[in-house]
Amino acid sequence: MKMHTAQRLRKAWKAEGNPPCDHPHIEEEQYDQGEPTGDYVCTTCGAYVDPRKVQSRES
């Protein structure tokens, strides 16, 4: 997911009152040119997520 898309998701989620999110799906964040930032974001709320925590939750 591109950085600007994640930023828009975070802004929209905040406008909804920041409801809880289980971060059901995450993607690697990318700069607009496609280079990875090294971060992972939730595709639902745009929050930065530690992928190790998601993997341990799935196990």
Write down the pLDDT at residue 25.
93
Under a CB-based contact definition with an 8 Å cutoff, are residues 14 and 6 in contact? no
Parse the chain into domains and list their residue ranges.
3-58
Write down the pLDDT at residue 52.
81
Q: Bin 14: left if φ > 0, else alpha if -120 < ψ < 50, else beta.
A: alpha
E strand segments, 13-52: 26-30, 36-42
Number of Cα atoms under 13 Å in the Cβ half of residue 2 = 6
Write down the pLDDT at residue 36.
96
pLDDT one-digit tens code per residue, 1-59: 999 999 999 999 999 999 999 999 999 999 989 999 999 999 999 999 998 876 655 55
Predicted TM-score (pTM) of the model is 0.84
SS3 45: coil
Write down the pLDDT at residue 4.
95
